[in-house]
Chains A and B, each alone.
Chain A
């Protein structure tokens, strides 16, 4: 079913590149950069901190260690993947990630449901570490698959008779890597429970957005309840090791936003929690492209979100949103995890009291684990906003990306870059006369058209890499400077970037649109 899977850089190679980037970053610490001054006391976790564009121009590339063009390209292409598909509305997708945080806090996943032409594409942007994003990547598609699958499949899930990674879903590029095998067991248990409940409520005419919503909410619920202190935890029954316990707490206290596109035939649903974005590239004829946004960002710039929070916490308007953040701290207004904005104060206090050792997962919060004036939790929800879109033949591709990309370039520019890349990619193929007995005039017309496309010829054959390259630097010097930022300051200049571009098969859509 998978036509072709290409990994541009093998794992072995990947290791070498990591060493290279580390070496470069180590070296770059000795180089004088600029004053980070006012940010040096910034204690909020990196991805919540507003990063990117406002510092971008201030980066003095002349002060950076210089990479060779080959090094730049190697780093940029480290995580790129291209998949071609020949089923359903999908022609394939290309994806890539570039880290700023170490380790990267973004995650992404792509999978196909084994029954019918149904695809899932997800982008997750973690904060306060990568734990929650990792958990989403491991679990969310399973929850969605259970919610979306026929009852016989769900039955097998319930009974534990199904290999989750092979039968419930077909993961692209090898599936997810689990962080803890013990957690995996725990997750499976929670999923079986979800399946059981799902079966009791099963009906054939469920509304898809409701199904998606249910899966999202259930997962967030499970993340929270699995981590609750042992006394109240019904799942763990006190048998779990303290390591595992700590791990579950780490996941729950960390947070992540998520954006998932679910494509079934020509129906597309985009479920979004937080500030990732999904933008559709719509071709309105010739070179005219529209960037159609399918998501709204859940943050302080979104008036309806602000109103929602203020309405839910009517007497706390002075306190709950400060400096455009939840409690002056958290930028997204919806997220998975982040239980310190969801749990009761007493549970949080219990955690504070039982984890007062140095380097514990809560030590980064100091005394502020419990926000001031924490009166009416929950303040944060993981309820997705879900948008339905009927694919039309004019819809050529969908770009899913974390805010690391959108901080750098606008959706319009992204759509232009992808469109140009598609155009440029065509001229990479050697031109053969399409038919016998052509006239010179006709040949010249074709060639002239190609010549225009040559302007779009790009360095990177992977469009996600192409976007990342264009997002972080206009020229080699800028790219080199951006890629050699030391870990300690990198996040002030750019966030982790994850980009997935899904290409649609217009012919299929044309034939199947109802």
Chain B
């Protein structure tokens, strides 16, 4: 009786839309729940519905876009491309639409995210689903709201930070007391809670129905959807997509989109070169109870992240699952054939940790009867972020996969921005954190993925403190100095799998603490005092900092082609004499920073380029894509060939002089120049007089086999200068205080040199370069955002919650932007926040202002920065504070020994 009722309800929904195949919700219900036909003794349970009524569409010979994957992502991308007017699209699904993971998704739509970009994307999704539901497409949308509850004080800080950002950017959110939670959700145990946060406009959908609606709408506009067709090979010509060979024949196409879900990594291997799509499947569990009288259909979605769990109403009962701290990776050697509408055998013992928490939070469920436990595998990525965008390896090859259990909520926004990316070449917002080019090869290593996945699933809900690294899959890329530094007490952080010393704490080992895993904090971090010492040593003495992780490239030609090539890629003038170094951006056609790098002209036609570690894949891809077709310019990634040691501080000049034969005086070895020198017994070392931190010093790029020798030579020679090791936090604090913006942290593809006070690094005259037109236009019309340094007033560094980035900035009470990076200015003795601010119009669009500096520095403007619910007044600045640049004459300083 009950089951029949559900089916009727589902069928009613599906009368409204004619989808290819049966109504998915019905199929979902049948597969999941029809009479417990899922024998646990079988490895994989098979659905009762095995084939669809497929329309026989012949495979077209040509299409503009071929999308691989008929889940929520593939159908959303198809739908959004048609919305932009592209309709010559073929969508290929190896099984049936939604048969991979979409069909068993829980369908919760939560908009509260840690950063504005993801919030914008999911908010778009939510609004779209709501609209489509209102237009009569049944996708099961219900606006029941969400309540996230906090068990700990730190979780409340996390909520307050998100509350500040969400409410500043227009999302209605309310902090809740335990008492208010009890009133809103009487079924929930609330006496052990610190509080919670309510998002009234959140809701839930029936996941497969969303995908079916997308595909139906796309189909109406001409997209051809073929089920039962497998992609066998992506055919390329000169590393550009040419066509797709399938089990039903070959299609010529311009664009290929890999939306193959947990199959995406395998699909990535079906081209030469391979496209890396680092993801791995994990078991994911939720249970569904039989209908319960107490459960209201509009019960809000509840998330108790400290207990790893979520729950929503489902057909009169409760659907409850979660993200356990240690997960079970599966399909290590590939997804089994015909894994369509299938689940994995349930491991109740593994689920118990979640069940216990579910029963703790919802005591009334003790007496609820089980309908089914669902073990549906989903794919996760090494950093728990989506994998989106054009691949580094192949032009016109796009990826949208690795949803990390956020596929349904993300699919709307992802579809929209991926369509922009495909059609416009760039998405309209910066998606670097999801960009497929943020990976290097090792991320795609299967063993690494399996190890990392054990941790990643749990991080969907576990409290992530700022700057917290993953604990698994560490110590993979290390510099030749690594062991020395480890012994010296280095505490490492990971970037692009590279272990970089963040600070040095020689006593850490004695305390039995791990050098790789650090307990994070929202307040003053435990490395604060050490970072201060290292900062001061860089200011007053001399330090060595391992910079080996920086991405390094060599660009060569036999004639002047390399110079011409770089002149076109770079916005600054590269045509300086040999031995010079130049800081330059590489702009995209909108003038934004594709990359921010330092280029040394080693020889007439030989350039050495250094850029942030995170740029390793992206920079190479950009360089290669723009290479002259005649092969006259050679680009080589030499990141692993050279180690980098930053000799930083007022004594650096004399120290280097002691161990080398060349004169290091400023007269002989000027700032922003480089020489090939010997250090100790080693030779061939490229010494550059710059530090990336505004202090005097040198970065030595050393062939890796000499790195240890050079390090030891400098350390020995530096004893009487009070030399010490320093970590990245020293550099970070030095540069934040000086208001130096870093790419990937402050700058991105949507910020231009003119917006961050770097007009002086743009060579407008005498050369053409990518993005020049956009920058000229900006110069004429003004900018719509400005990079600003804020100094916080009345900030108690010892006791207040720190700013860590993504804090909203208010000008005269109006939201104008958010912080990017923050740190303590040890010289200025102030907490410093960097960030972009804009003058937004009523629609939330930034206004172009020819006098942006006046807007920023308006004497009457009152700035405040909201840190976890407390607004601090802030003093803006658009230039480096003079005091921060102060340096001392080393000859007047006595060295202090620790």
Q: Is A43 an interface residue (CB 8 A)?
A: no
Instruction: Please determine whether B356 and A448 come into contact, CB atoms closer than 8 angstroms.
Output: yes
Give the residue of B36, B40, B345, B358 whose beta carbon is less than 8 angstroms from that of A440: B358
Enumerate chain A residues within 8 angstroms of B287, measured Cβ to Cβ.
Answer: 440
Q: Within 8 Å CB of A441, what residues of B?
A: 359, 365-367
Measured as residues with beta carbon below 8 angstroms from the partner, the interface class of chain B is 20 to 34
A313 interface hit (Cβ, 8 Å):
no
**CB closest chain-B residue, reference A446:** B348
- A430/B359 in contact, CB under 8 A: no
Neighbour of B349 across the interface among A433, A439, A440, A450, CB < 8 A: A450
Name the distance in Å between B304's Cβ and chain A's nearest Cβ: 16
Is the C-beta of A35 less than 8 angstroms from some C-beta in chain B? no
Decide: A447 near B352, CB < 8 A? Known: A430-B40, A436-B36, A440-B358. Answer: yes
Contact B359 A431, beta carbon cutoff 8 Å:
no
In the complex, A437 Cα to B2 Cα: how many Å?
14
Is B134 positioned at the interface, with any CB of A under 8 Å from its CB? no
Pick the contact of A439 from B36, B40, B367 — CB < 8 Å?
B367
Chain A positions within 8 Å of B348 at CB level: 431-433, 443, 447
Tell me if A286 counts as interface (CB < 8 A to partner B). no
A203 CB → nearest B CB, Å: 56
B289 to chain A, nearest CB (A): 7
CB proximity of A434 to chain B, nearest CB, Å: 11
A194, B445: Cα distance in complex, Å: 72
Residues of A within 8 A of B356 (CB): 444, 448
Name the distance in Å between A226's Cβ and chain B's nearest Cβ. 58
A445 to chain B, nearest CB (A): 10
With an 8 A cutoff between CB atoms, is B369 at the interface?
yes
The answer, yes or no, to whether B347 is at the interface (CB within 8 Å) is yes
Distance between B256 CB and nearest chain A CB, rounded to angstroms: 41
**Distance from B43 Cβ to chain A, minimum over Cβ atoms (Å):** 11
Within 8 A of B (CB), among A449-470: 450-451, 454
Is A75 interfacial (CB 8 A cutoff)? no
Given the complex, which residues of A lie within 8 Å of B586, measured CB to CB?
none
**A443 lies within 8 A of B40 (CB):** no
Q: Smallest CB–CB gap between B269 and chain A, Å?
A: 32
Contacts of A9 in B (CB 8 A): none
Distance in Å: Cβ of A432 to nearest Cβ of chain B: 5
Q: Tell me whether B368 is interfacial, beta carbon within 8 Å.
A: yes
B370 within 8 A of A: yes
Q: Are B352 and A439 interface neighbours, CB within 8 A?
A: no
Closest to A453 in B: B349
Taking the nearest CB of chain B, how far is it from the CB of A425, in angstroms? 14
State the majority secondary structure of interface residues on B: helix
CB distance from B848 to the nearest CB of A (A): 58
User: Which residue from chain B places its CB closest to the CB of A439 in the assembled complex?
Assistant: B367
CB of A427 closer than 8 Å to a CB of B: yes
By a CB distance below 8 angstroms, the chain B residues around A444 are 352, 355-356, 359, 366
CB distance from A283 to the nearest CB of B (A): 24
Chain B residues contacting A448 (CB-CB under 8 Å) are 352, 356
Least Cβ–Cβ distance between B3 and chain A, in angstroms:
14
* Chain B residues whose CB sits within 8 angstroms of the CB of A450 once the complex forms: 349, 352
Chain A residues within 8 Å of B359, by CB: 440-441, 444
B345 pairs with A430, CB closer than 8 A: yes
Q: How far is the CA of A432 from the CA of B348 in the complex (A)?
A: 8
| Contact residues, B669-684 vs A (CB, 8 A) | none
Q: Please name the residue on chain B nearest to A441 by beta carbon.
A: B366
Q: Does A1 contact B (CB under 8 A)?
A: no
- C-beta contact mask, B242-274 vs A, less than 8 Å → 1, else 0? 000000000000000000000000000000000
CB closest chain-B residue, reference A454: B349
Number of interface residues of A (CB under 8 A): 18
CA distance A275 to B348 in the complex (A): 47
> In the assembled complex, how far is the CB of residue A405 from the closest CB belonging to chain B, in whole angstroms?
32
Q: Give min CB distance, B316 to chain A, whole Å.
A: 16
| Chain A residues, Cβ within 8 Å of B347 | 430-431
Residue of B nearest to A442 (CB): B366
Contact of B370 among A427, A430, A440, A454 (CB under 8 A): A440
Tell me the bound Cα distance from A437 to B290 in angstroms. Answer: 9
Query: Which chain B residue has the least Cβ–Cβ distance from A427?
Result: B349
Asked if B370 and A433 make an inter-chain contact with CB atoms under 8 angstroms apart, the answer reads: yes
A451 in contact with B40 given A439-B369, A440-B370 (CB within 8 Å): no
Question: Inside 8 A of B36's CB, which chain A residues have their CB?
Answer: 436
Residues of B within 8 A of A436 (CB): 36
**A243 interface contact, C-beta 8 A:** no
User: In the complex, are the beta carbons of B367 and A438 less than 8 A apart?
Assistant: no
Q: B41-71 interface mask toward A, CB cutoff 8 Å, 1 = contact, 0 = none?
A: 1000000000000000000000000000000
A301 to B351 Cα, complex, angstroms: 54
Instruction: Mark interface residues in A30-58 (1 if CB within 8 Å of B CB, else 0).
Output: 00000000000000000000000000000
Q: Indicate if the CB atoms of A439 and B368 lie closer than 8 Å.
A: yes
The distance in angstroms between the C-alpha atoms of A161 and B53, with both chains bound, is 75
A448 vs B351: C-alpha distance when bound (angstroms): 11
B384 to chain A, nearest CB (A): 28
Which of A427, A430, A438 contacts B369 (CB under 8 A)?
A: A438
User: Which residue of chain B is the closest to A436 with respect to CB atoms?
Assistant: B36
Chain B residues with CB under 8 A of A439: 366-370
Query: In the complex, what's the smallest C-beta–C-beta distance from A435 to chain B, in angstroms?
Result: 10
Could you tell me the distance in whole angstroms from the C-beta of A334 to the nearest C-beta in chain B? 50
Cross-chain contact A440 with B352 (CB below 8 angstroms): no
> How far apart sit A441 and B36, CA to CA, in the bound complex (Å)?
20
Task: Give the chain A neighbours of B351 by CB distance below 8 A.
Answer: 447
A232 to B683, CA, bound (A): 95
User: In whole angstroms, what is the CA distance A430 to B41 when docked?
Assistant: 9
Most central of B290, B367, B369 by chain A CB within 10 Å? B369
Interface residues of B in 812-846 (CB under 8 A from A): none
Chain A residues within 8 Å of B365, by CB: 440-441
Residue of A whose beta carbon sits closest to that of B358: A440
Chain B positions 346 through 376: 1 when the CB is less than 8 Å from some CB of chain A, otherwise 0? 0111011001101100000111111000000
Contact with B along A396-432 (1 / 0, CB 8 A): 0000000000000000000000000000000100111
When C-beta atoms are compared, the residue in chain B nearest to A432 turns out to be: B40
**Residues in A whose Cβ lies below 8 Å from that of B367:** 439-441
Restricting to B317-368, which residues have a CB under 8 Å from any CB of A?
A: 345, 347-349, 351-352, 355-356, 358-359, 365-368
Separation of A439 and B347 alpha carbons in the complex (Å): 17
Contact yes or no, A443 B355, CB < 8 A = yes
Closest chain B CB from A256 CB (angstroms): 47
Shortest Cβ distance from B579 into chain A, in angstroms?
A: 55
Which residues of the partner chain B approach A454 to less than 8 Å between Cβ atoms? 349
Task: Give bound CA distance, A431 to B356, whole Å.
Answer: 16
Interface string of A220-251 (1 = CB under 8 A from B): 00000000000000000000000000000000
Residues of B near A451 (CB, < 8 A) are: 349, 352
B residues less than 8 Å from A437 (CB atoms)? 290, 369-370
Once the chains are docked, how many angstroms separate the CA of A187 from the CA of B348?
A: 58
Q: Report Cα–Cα, A444/B351, bound state, in Å.
A: 10
Distance from A440 Cβ to chain B, minimum over Cβ atoms (Å): 5
List chain B residues, Cβ under 8 A from A440.
287, 289, 355, 358-359, 365-370
A452 to chain B, nearest CB (A): 11
A433 to B367, CA, bound (A): 16
Contact A443 B349, beta carbon cutoff 8 Å: no
Pick from A440, A444, A448 the residue with the most CB of B within 10 Å: A440
Q: In the bound complex, what is the Cα–Cα distance between A450 and B355 (angstroms)?
A: 14
* Minimum Cβ distance to chain B for residue A313 (Å): 63
What distance in Å separates the Cβ of A182 from its nearest Cβ neighbour in chain B? 55
Q: Supply 7 further A-B pairs (C-beta < 8 A) apart from A431-B349, A433-B348, A440-B368.
A: A436-B36, A437-B290, A438-B369, A440-B358, A441-B359, A441-B365, A451-B349
- A-B contacts, 20 of them at CB < 8 A, read A431-B347, A432-B40, A432-B348, A433-B348, A433-B370, A438-B369, A439-B366, A439-B370, A440-B358, A440-B359, A440-B367, A440-B369, A441-B367, A447-B348, A447-B349, A447-B355, A448-B352, A450-B349, A451-B349, A454-B349
A residues apposed to B, CB below 8 Å: 427, 430-433, 436-441, 443-444, 447-448, 450-451, 454
Closest 4 CB pairs of A and B: A441-B366, A447-B352, A431-B348, A432-B40
